Chains A and B, each alone.
Chain A
Amino acid sequence: MKKFLFLSILLLLSCLIMPFALASDDDYRVDRFTDKVGLLSSRQEAELIELFNGISLRQQFDVVAAVVYSLDGKNPRLYAADYFEQQGFGTLDNTGGIILLIAMEERDFAFVTTGHGLSVFTDTVQEYLENLFLPYLRVDDYFAAFTAFAEGSEYFLEEYSSGGSLPADNLPIPPGMDAPPFYPTNPDSSLTAEERRNLHIGAAVVSLVLAFAIPGIVVAVWTRQLKSVRPKDTACDYIRRGSMSLNVQRDIFLYRNVRRTAKSQNSSSGGGSSGGFKSSSGGSFSGRSGKF
């Protein structure tokens, strides 16, 4: 009887302790999905929190999303990077993370990545990911947009880990794109198989062009050596020494004109930017932003 009682108490204690033990590395920060504007219903919000938390723990990589009203005049990418750091994300085994942040005041979006994400989410992958969620944002289907972002992020994290061998069957193909970009079999390389093929072809083309051009130049020089009779159209050798005198030397300003060229701004949806940058604390990030 005593033995049964002891086991029962032990089982009870285990049930009480287990959730805390399982969540021990994850319960000290805010949720991985936050809606400060109230775009989503409570049920949708709860589903997204569960989705983002689940992916983050599975991949050991913080996949985060947030809805805010205003960027407080900040650059969208910088705001997203600072938000990510200030909320304490990116510390899961120090592997970094990715965040999608939208600001409703001027309908800005930004998604940025850091740490391990700098290798996973290359420019091509970022463009692909953007095309996954942006169409939903544009029609105000926020739940679908965040879901697409989360599932797309997980897909690429797994694809990267598997060395590019993962089938893309489950990933939706965004409009205007053929297929998800594949990673090379060598996980250390940041080039996809297609990029590698293009690089090989490009190098071969350049090699052949040089192989045509270099002998052409050499042979042209050798041919030119055979010709030494050329008329002399000037008489520089016969200028009387010291005879040059400048009596008139005037430089008269006539007019000026100013041409203004807008700096190039890269964004698929207008007004955004992409590429690597530093957060306010100096962390390295990469990402894209724009309007929706």
Chain B
Amino acid sequence: MALKEYKCPNCSGPISFNPGTQELTCPYCNSIINIEALNYMDEQTEQTPEEQAAIWDYDGNSWHEGEEHGLVVYTCNSCSGEIVGDETLGAATCPFCGSPVVMTAKFAGSLRPDLVIPFKLDKDYALSSLDKHYAKKRLLPDVFKENNHLEDVKGVYVPFWLYDADTDSHMEYRGTKVRTWSDRNYIYTETSHFQIIRGGALGFDAVPADGSEKVDDALMESIEPYNMGDWAGFNTAYLAGFYANKYDKDAKECSPRANERIKNTTTAEFRKTVVGYNSVRQVSSNVRINCGGVRYALFPVWLLGSTWEDKSFIFAMNGQTGKFVGDLPLDKAKRRRLYWTMFGIIAASLLAISQAYIAFIM
């Protein structure tokens, strides 16, 4: 399997993409390398005939049937260490020498993403966001903050499918308008009933759906939206220093979720056009979604993993906007204690004030 490893043209050290400068940087000699220049150098290198050396072959044990299913073994170009990953792994860091590697074959041909949103925020920002995420959470267990050790902080390019769509809709509602008046003896209430029909079109651009089985869909939807104005044409150089996965759910498989979101939004937008009624009830909704194209994209996500009391907690941060989410554990004993403390204070205060006030006014 072909591995793409980016090396510094100055010192040959492994280089990675820097979200701050949007260029590749060398951590050893501090060189800043332009992505386009590096690509040009790569092309020149590929045209140079490779040296040939003797090849010692080894006919060792082979994988038992089914054992290697889903596993792919890569050899690091820097240290020759073996990197074992699943078949969707597209970019990683060598566990032996720390070199960032990109499995270019995972993004070759029809698997090549149409676009990528590069990381804009780095690991330090993700860690400081985690601290902010813990702040002002009164029911978060104190020991979770104090003893919690992050097991993993990874910058991951998550595969997304982006759906463009145009909708034609026909909605029908029943609405009522109420008018009241009175005379000396009676109050009159007149209710007028209306049939309300709305029809029209609404377009959507780049509705995202998570194309990775491994990443929780709700987690990914929680860190939306991404600013599509910052997208760039795909270049494997953006992946250097980060993890990346190839999609394992295809566009067809993910489309029901996108359709559902488009339909919900269309229904809500047309409902907003029905105004001036005291009550409105939707009778029918017909939303035809016309496919306007699908694009394959990689979006930047910082994933932070932690375990506490045998439960795992995954936090995610939008690598472009910094939106941070992740469910936190609840300290039930603390909640009980705070509830009854507040109850005691409020009950005593209100009783004292109300009884004193009644005595005062009588």
In the complex, which residues of chain A have a beta carbon less than 8 angstroms from the beta carbon of B258? 235
In the complex where A207-B350, A238-B204 touch, is A261 in contact with B265 (Cβ < 8 A)? no
Q: Please tell me if A184 contacts chain B, counting CB pairs below 8 Å.
A: yes
User: Which of A207, A223, A250 makes the CB contact (< 8 A) with B196?
Assistant: A250
Q: Please tell me if B260 contacts chain A, counting CB pairs below 8 Å.
A: yes
Q: Please tell me if A230 contacts chain B, counting CB pairs below 8 Å.
A: yes
Q: Please tell me if B269 contacts chain A, counting CB pairs below 8 Å.
A: yes
In the complex where A210-B350, A226-B137 touch, is A239 in contact with B201 (Cβ < 8 A)? no
- Name the distance in Å between A262's Cβ and chain B's nearest Cβ: 6
Q: Which residue of A lies closest to B199 (CB)?
A: A248
- Name the distance in Å between A224's Cβ and chain B's nearest Cβ: 10
The stretch from A131-139, A151-159, A195-203, A274-282 touching chain B is A195-203
Q: By the criterion of a CB under 8 Å from any partner CB, how many residues of chain A are at the interface?
A: 59
In the complex where A235-B265, A243-B203 touch, is A249 in contact with B170 (Cβ < 8 A)? no
In the complex, which residues of chain B have a beta carbon less than 8 angstroms from the beta carbon of A207? 347, 350-351, 354
The stretch from B108-116, B148-156, B183-191 touching chain A is B183-191
Query: Do the beta carbons of B197 and A256 come within 8 Å of each other?
Result: no
In whole angstroms, what is the CA distance A104 to B268 when docked?
67
Interface string of A214-251 (1 = CB under 8 A from B): 11101100110111111111111111100111111111
Query: Do the beta carbons of B260 and A219 come within 8 Å of each other?
Result: no
In the complex, which residues of chain A have a beta carbon less than 8 angstroms from the beta carbon of B166? 243
In the complex where A204-B355, A256-B191, A263-B186 touch, is A226 in contact with B200 (Cβ < 8 A)? no
In whole angstroms, what is the CA distance A177 to B351 when docked?
33
Interface string of A262-278 (1 = CB under 8 A from B): 11000000000000000
Query: Do the beta carbons of B225 and A233 come within 8 Å of each other?
Result: no
Q: Please tell me if B55 contacts chain A, counting CB pairs below 8 Å.
A: no
Q: Please tell me if A208 contacts chain B, counting CB pairs below 8 Å.
A: yes
Chain A-chain B contacts (Cβ-Cβ < 8 Å), number: 202
In the complex, which residues of chain B have a beta carbon less than 8 angstroms from the beta carbon of A228? 133, 222, 325-327
Q: Please tell me if B362 contacts chain A, counting CB pairs below 8 Å.
A: yes
Query: Do the beta carbons of A245 and B347 come within 8 Å of each other?
Result: no
In whole angstroms, what is the CA distance A257 to B191 when docked?
5
In whole angstroms, what is the CA distance A252 to B140 when docked?
55
In whole angstroms, what is the CA distance A4 to B219 when docked?
121
Q: Please tell me if A260 contacts chain B, counting CB pairs below 8 Å.
A: yes
Interface string of A83-114 (1 = CB under 8 A from B): 00000000000000000000000000000000
User: Which of A203, A225, A234, A262 makes the CB contact (< 8 A) with B261?
Assistant: A234
Q: By the criterion of a CB under 8 Å from any partner CB, how many residues of chain B are at the interface?
A: 73
- Name the distance in Å between B298's Cβ and chain A's nearest Cβ: 18
In the complex, which residues of chain A have a beta carbon less than 8 angstroms from the beta carbon of B288? none
In whole angstroms, what is the CA distance A253 to B174 when docked?
10
User: Which of A200, A248, A258 makes the CB contact (< 8 A) with B198?
Assistant: A248
Q: Please tell me if B284 contacts chain A, counting CB pairs below 8 Å.
A: no
In the complex, which residues of chain B have a beta carbon less than 8 angstroms from the beta carbon of A189? 362
User: Which of A235, A251, A252, A259 makes the CB contact (< 8 A) with B204?
Assistant: A235
Query: Do the beta carbons of B202 and A229 come within 8 Å of each other?
Result: no
Query: Do the beta carbons of B188 and A260 come within 8 Å of each other?
Result: yes
Query: Do the beta carbons of B265 and A247 come within 8 Å of each other?
Result: no
Q: Please tell me if A40 contacts chain B, counting CB pairs below 8 Å.
A: no
Query: Do the beta carbons of B194 and A239 come within 8 Å of each other?
Result: no
The stretch from B41-49, B68-76, B335-343 touching chain A is B335-343
Query: Do the beta carbons of B261 and A259 come within 8 Å of each other?
Result: no
In whole angstroms, what is the CA distance A237 to B261 when docked?
11
Q: Please tell me if A206 contacts chain B, counting CB pairs below 8 Å.
A: yes
Question: Which residues of chain B (322-362) have a CB below 8 Å from chain A?
Answer: 325-330, 335, 338-340, 342-343, 346-347, 350-351, 354-355, 357-358, 362
B residues within 8 Å of A by Cβ? 133, 136-140, 166, 170, 175, 182, 184-208, 216-219, 221-222, 224-225, 258, 260-262, 264-265, 268-269, 273, 325-330, 335, 338-340, 342-343, 346-347, 350-351, 354-355, 357-358, 362
Given contacts A222-B138, A228-B327, A247-B199, 16 further A-B contacts (CB under 8 A): A196-B362, A203-B354, A212-B343, A219-B335, A219-B342, A228-B133, A228-B325, A229-B216, A236-B265, A236-B268, A238-B204, A243-B202, A246-B198, A248-B200, A252-B197, A261-B188
20 A-B pairs whose Cβ atoms sit less than 8 Å apart in the complex: A211-B346, A215-B343, A223-B330, A226-B329, A229-B325, A231-B221, A232-B221, A232-B224, A233-B261, A234-B268, A235-B261, A239-B265, A240-B202, A245-B202, A248-B197, A251-B194, A254-B193, A254-B194, A255-B192, A262-B186
